[in-house]
Structure 1
Amino acid sequence: MNERRKAISYIRLSTEAQLKGHSLARQKKLAEEYCSSQNLELVEELRDVGVSGFSGVHREKGRLGLFFESLRSNSLDHKAVLLVENLDRLSRQDPLTAMLQFAEILKYGIEIHTLFDGQIYTKDKVSSDMGLLMLSVGQMMRAYDESKTKSRRLSAAWEKKRNDRSRILTSKSPSWIKPTRNSEGVVSSFTLIEAQANVVRSIFELTIERNMGSYAITRHLNSNPGRYPKSDKELRSGSNEWSESFVKKVLKSPTVFGQFQPMKMVDGLRIPACDPINDYYPAVISEADFKLAQERIHQRTINGRGRKGKRFPNLFTGLLKCSKCKSSLRYRDRGTGPKATVTLQCSAALQNRKKCNAKAVKYQAFEDLFFSVISDLSLTASLESQTAKDHVRKLELKVVDEKSDLKRLTTKLDLLTDELLDPGLSNSIKTRLRDRLNQLDKQIGQAENAVEAAQAELEKFNYQSNSQISSDLKTKSTERADLDRGSQEAADFRRDMNHTLKKIIDVIYVDNSPSFHIEDIREELYSEDDLSDDFLDWFKANKNERWKYQSAIEFVASEYGFQKHQEFMLKFYIHFKNLELRGVLHDGLFFRIDRETGKDLHRSIGVN
């Protein structure tokens, strides 16, 4: 008994709606009946739904693409038969592209059987039968012409709809917006779903006011499910929890301030069909707030992104650098219980890079020392002043707009420069281009000055508003203490504080590099006269009869003693945005210098 040949059915439906109609059932039935009549074994059904044969997407991303991969990898029986209703199911692209695809299938020995007319195409038959070849080419030309005409009509219809700004172009809308239909069932307007719009507003508020990233925002939303419920659209995902991907999508979507971008397909890619349409959807936030949020995201990218943990333990994230090698300091929480150590460590020293020997700094001691030397500044009350917030937003938006203008001019300059390099340009055109480049160069200089002026105005206000408000930072000591108990309120407060510190501080350089090596002490190259006076005082005050080290120099020769002595050598330098520099010693004494003029502002101020 002869073995039955294997058949593979390929079905393509250009729209999801055809699934609900008769197209799928018809194609399936045709394939089954044909296999029965021709003694073929139907072993597989390849189905592409909602993809266009005109764009070629089915060949790149659909099941047809997998079919070609199987052919080329020799994992498919080359004696198999491919069943299609018509050749236009394989492709509706231009005839040359369609013919190349058609020929590739036949080249591998696969037979193509068309169910509608019962034609059988093989490599040998098409090569020897001119009539069959012309029949296949004719079908491809007809399919292409039909799709091209249909595409042109649809494009014209959409263009007409896009130009009529009084009409709703599509009923699709974000999850926080509900389409309203008229008596005829046509979408006539959109309305906000207030509960969901509140979620969107909160996402942007957390980004702008608290400088929270997508991960922290997602955690905040999921920690308060009663305040941030999900809509029916979002619940379709099967989870009642918010996802980080949703937060990221919202933060990047202009639909939040009402803008809609019509799209069209070109060569299988979705591209803008026209300029964005403003005021298409009801706005949840202002365009100004959207711009500020993008600037926050951009700044986090520059200053260091990533998950900061549920407690936000490192108050100085993005601010600390090693004074010796200029590498960032890493927050390290090692161990648990009473022996747990939380330190700040130069990342280069940790990896033995840059020949940096900076030692670890105890985190809590550093935080306490830092706040003792900036106690003349209030970093909390400005967070509670709405007037200050509004003014800061105004100044921040001014900076964003000036930067946007500078970027636009720079892009234009780059394009003109590329154009000037064209060897085919005449001298007269080159002269005009050079004149335009000179004008743009002047405009860019003015724009750069405008950005600097706007940033200086913002930094000056941030510094003044944070230093003139009388509220004392120590009133927040209870929130800081709550951190050990995992208080969400304390963590949120620390995140706000970090955001505020970045407004008034450029960088904090931490100098904790030893002036000598422990081996030098062990080899007796140094004496007690070379040790810190404060350390010697501490050693004498803490020494007792049980102390196993007889001298301070012997103690420093031990690992623990060397680290203890280094604690008395710690220095750090706070570079404020108003050009003030504060140099701080381990005991809280510090000096203040104007970085621009070098003038002493104040010297040797003690801990309050």
Structure 2
Amino acid sequence: MKLLVTYIRWSTKEQDSGDSLRRQTNLIDAFYAKHKDDYYLLPAHRYVDKGKSGFHQQHKAQGSDFRRMFENVMSGAIPEGSLIVVENFDRFSRADIDTAIDDVRQILRKGVSILTLGDGELYDKSALTDPVKLIKHIIIAERAHQESLVKQKRIAQVWNHKTQLARELKKPMGKQAPGWLELSEDGSHYIVDEDKASLVNIIYDKRLSGMSMFAICKWLNEQGYPTINQRKVRISKTKKPDGNWSALSVKHILTSRSVLGYLPAKISTEDRKTVLREEIEGFYPQIVTDSKFYAVQQLLEETGKGKTSSGDHWLYVNILKGLIRCKCGLVMTPTGIRKPVYQGTYRCNGNKESRCSYGTVSRKLLDTQLCSRLFSKLSQLHDEATDTAKLDELQRRLNTVDSELEKLTETLIQLPNITQIQEALRVKQEEKDELIVQLSREKARVKSVSSLDLSGLDMESVEGRTEAQIIIKRLVKEIVVSGNEKLVDIYLHNGNMIRGFPLDGKDDHTLTLEEATDEMQSLDDMLIFGEPVTRIYPAGDMEEVDA
């Protein structure tokens, strides 16, 4: 008996539940039923490529079943005399003629035959010298390739036209839309479902109040809210679902820029990187304010998956999270917290191992002094033009890197074997990826709050402390503490720093404001702090000043 090898492929994921798999499977099963005395099947040699394009050669990529089958033929794991059955040759490839024929020839040379069930033709070693069979195969391969070319061209034309209308006229591209929107009867615009839009805003408000994604999910299920898109969770045989909301569905809503009105960018399904269409601003009606959306992004960046670290009491909301460091350079974290009111201390992570001698500092003292005496006044110094300039600079750098990448790519096409160019291209791509991350973070920081005022916040509530955390991160980049001296250095996002801020409130300390530029700060800015600022230094001038 000979080994029977089966290969099935279809191009799009939409065909998963359609006729393609069923049709190809039925053909193979019918053949095996008639010839099971001559052939045997092994599970290891049933090859299936789901949603793999033969035209784009996805089915031959690393990890695909076609590649695994082909390598097994070449290595002898599929022995000489075996038979590969396939619906038609276009299951193997819709590439150009040379590529398609080369695959078949290599298989036949190994003594493995191919049977196309669609027309009942058998191809074995003799086909290599049979011009009639080869010509027939060439015609079949060419026809399949040309059909794919025409199909791709038509799809591209339709897609480009729809994209142009969407970008210029904001015309809907189809019925598909976020769950809080409905397409109008004439298909000309989207209509907001106010109840669902309200629920989306409730979810954002819950996250800003300090609730984790998991807590929000639990609350939504307990309240019996239907999901935005009406989807239902899969029912497990061993566990009954608690509701249709999941933490993943909550995360999707909290991170979707569609709530701001953006049509998401379309990314290639082949490499998951290539942008086929940039996102389109103003395509959908906006249902969440910019400040609310970006405030949530700030929280998600800090907390990762959206879990709260220690509990839902206000004591566990660290308003300086991710900002505070000891003078020795290590991170400081709150310790010794005790309900209902004891806030504990900020302790250096090196303190336990006796690697730090700068001491601890009262958490209540540091939070209160910074918020009441410094941060409330820093907002008066905040200049939105500085934030805008920083965003513009990052965007300029990103545009420059894009231009350099384009030139390197053109050079690589002409000189594909130059390893130095390939390495330069890799490094430049990494630089671009990093700039994209930086730009995204800066946009989130700048747009995260509409007000920089801390005075009206309840610092003994989860909501108040969470909002304070967002506001502080808008202004402050890093806080360096000397616990023994009770002195703090504050580094701002605009490049300036405040050195020697005293936590004891005494006036016998020197407070200096070091600028990011060589221009001198005005006297009015010094007086805002209410401290004896004796002198202001340009950045880089770090000489000590006597009080």
Same fold (TM over 0.5): yes
Give the distance between the partners of 1:346 and 1:231, measured in 2 at CA. Answer: 45
SS of aligned partner of 1:495: helix
Aligned CA distance change for structure 1 residues 79 and 172 (closer, same or farther; 3 Å): farther
Residue 219 of structure 1 pairs with residue 220 of structure 2: no
Residue 255 of structure 1 pairs with residue 258 of structure 2: yes
Q: Which residue in 2 is equivalent to 1:438?
A: none
How far 1:148 moved relative to its partner? 0.8
Deviations 1:244-280 (CA, angstroms, capped at 9, x unpaired) = 5445544553322223257485967674445544443
Q: Which residue in 1 is equivalent to 2:535?
A: none
Aligned CA distance change for structure 1 residues 203 and 375 (closer, same or farther; 3 Å): closer
Q: Which residue in 2 is equivalent to 1:606?
A: none
How far 1:22 moved relative to its partner? 5.1
Give the distance between the partners of 2:368 and 2:292, measured in 1 at CA. Answer: 37
SS of aligned partner of 1:96: helix
Residue 584 of structure 1 pairs with residue 499 of structure 2: no
Give the distance between the partners of 1:283 and 1:169, measured in 2 at CA. Answer: 18
Q: Which residue in 1 is equivalent to 2:427?
A: none
Contact 2:358-2:482 at 8 Å conserved across structures: no
If each structure's helix is expressed as a fraction of its own residues, which one has the higher value?
Answer: 1
Aligned CA distance change for structure 1 residues 103 and 178 (closer, same or farther; 3 Å): farther
SS of aligned partner of 2:329: coil
Q: Which residue in 1 is equivalent to 2:40?
A: 41
Q: Which residue in 1 is equivalent to 2:118?
A: 116
- TM-score, normalising length: structure 1: 0.60
Contact 1:593-1:601 at 8 Å conserved across structures: no
Amino acid at match of 1:317: K
1:573 alignment partner, one of 477, 488, 491: 488
Give the distance between the partners of 2:151 and 2:407, measured in 1 at CA. Answer: 42
Amino acid at match of 1:54: F
How far 1:242 moved relative to its partner? 4.7
Q: Which residue in 2 is equivalent to 1:318?
A: 322
Give the distance between the partners of 1:420 and 1:145, measured in 2 at CA. Answer: 32
Contact 1:265-1:271 at 8 Å conserved across structures: yes
The aligned runs of 1:347-358 (5 Å cut-off) are 347-348=349-350, 356-358=355-357
Q: Which residue in 2 is equivalent to 1:235?
A: 232
Give the distance between the partners of 1:407 and 1:241, measured in 2 at CA. Answer: 41
Aligned CA distance change for structure 1 residues 591 and 107 (closer, same or farther; 3 Å): farther
Deviations 1:196-249 (CA, angstroms, capped at 9, x unpaired) = 433433455567x66x7xx93453453454286523544245563654544554
* Seq. identity, %: 21
Aligned length: 460
Q: Which residue in 2 is equivalent to 1:132?
A: 133
SS of aligned partner of 2:513: coil
How far 1:576 moved relative to its partner? 7.9
Give the distance between the partners of 1:498 and 1:332, measured in 2 at CA. Answer: 18
Q: Which residue in 2 is equivalent to 1:494?
A: 465
Give the distance between the partners of 2:54 and 2:405, measured in 1 at CA. Answer: 38
Deviations 1:27-61 (CA, angstroms, capped at 9, x unpaired) = 33322332244433344554444443222223336
Give the distance between the partners of 1:19 and 1:306, measured in 2 at CA. Answer: 36
2:24 alignment partner, one of 21, 27, 32: 27
1:92 alignment partner, one of 84, 91, 94: 94
- After TM superposition, the structure 1 stretch with the greater mean CA deviation from structure 2, 343-352 or 249-258, is 343-352
- TM-score, normalising length: structure 2: 0.66
The aligned runs of 1:269-308 (5 Å cut-off) are 271-274=274-277, 276-286=279-289, 288-289=290-291, 292-293=294-295, 296=298, 300=302, 308=309
Contact 1:16-1:49 at 8 Å conserved across structures: yes
SS of aligned partner of 1:112: strand
1:171 alignment partner, one of 148, 158, 175: 175
How far 1:19 moved relative to its partner? 6.2
Q: Which runs of 5+ in 1 are unaligned?
A: 383-387, 425-451, 480-489, 513-568, 604-608
Contact 1:343-1:360 at 8 Å conserved across structures: no
Aligned CA distance change for structure 1 residues 492 and 511 (closer, same or farther; 3 Å): same
Q: Which residue in 1 is equivalent to 2:511?
A: 594
How far 1:595 moved relative to its partner? 1.0
Aligned CA distance change for structure 1 residues 81 and 192 (closer, same or farther; 3 Å): farther
Contact 1:56-1:268 at 8 Å conserved across structures: no
Aligned CA distance change for structure 1 residues 135 and 218 (closer, same or farther; 3 Å): same
Contact 2:85-2:117 at 8 Å conserved across structures: yes
Give the distance between the partners of 1:399 and 1:237, measured in 2 at CA. Answer: 50
Contact 2:203-2:216 at 8 Å conserved across structures: no
Give the distance between the partners of 1:602 and 1:259, measured in 2 at CA. Answer: 46
Q: Which residue in 2 is equivalent to 1:190?
A: 190
Amino acid at match of 1:178: E
Deviations 1:169-196 (CA, angstroms, capped at 9, x unpaired) = 22222233334556xxxx5543334344
Aligned CA distance change for structure 1 residues 276 and 320 (closer, same or farther; 3 Å): closer
Residue 11 of structure 1 pairs with residue 8 of structure 2: yes
Deviations 1:133-192 (CA, angstroms, capped at 9, x unpaired) = 33323322221111111211222233333344565322222233334556xxxx554333
1:510 alignment partner, one of 481, 489, 506: 481
Deviations 1:317-359 (CA, angstroms, capped at 9, x unpaired) = 2232212x2222244569x99xx9966442345567xxx4337
Amino acid at match of 1:321: R
Contact 2:16-2:51 at 8 Å conserved across structures: no
Aligned CA distance change for structure 1 residues 395 and 202 (closer, same or farther; 3 Å): farther
Q: Which residue in 2 is equivalent to 1:404?
A: 391
Q: Which residue in 2 is equivalent to 1:154?
A: 155
Aligned CA distance change for structure 1 residues 313 and 232 (closer, same or farther; 3 Å): closer
Q: Which residue in 1 is equivalent to 2:142?
A: 141
SS of aligned partner of 1:596: strand
Give the distance between the partners of 1:113 and 1:74, measured in 2 at CA. Answer: 19
Amino acid at match of 1:85: E
Give the distance between the partners of 2:371 and 2:24, measured in 1 at CA. Answer: 79
Aligned CA distance change for structure 1 residues 216 and 101 (closer, same or farther; 3 Å): farther
Give the distance between the partners of 1:161 and 1:271, measured in 2 at CA. Answer: 19
Deviations 1:485-512 (CA, angstroms, capped at 9, x unpaired) = xxxxx44443334334445655443335
Contact 2:488-2:499 at 8 Å conserved across structures: no
Contact 1:583-1:591 at 8 Å conserved across structures: no
Amino acid at match of 1:102: V
Contact 1:195-1:228 at 8 Å conserved across structures: no
Q: Which residue in 1 is equivalent to 2:522?
A: none
Aligned CA distance change for structure 1 residues 319 and 495 (closer, same or farther; 3 Å): same
Give the distance between the partners of 2:474 and 2:13, measured in 1 at CA. Answer: 52
Amino acid at match of 1:99: I
Q: Which residue in 2 is equivalent to 1:64?
A: 66
Give the distance between the partners of 2:22 and 2:477, measured in 1 at CA. Answer: 68
Give the distance between the partners of 2:477 and 2:165, measured in 1 at CA. Answer: 50
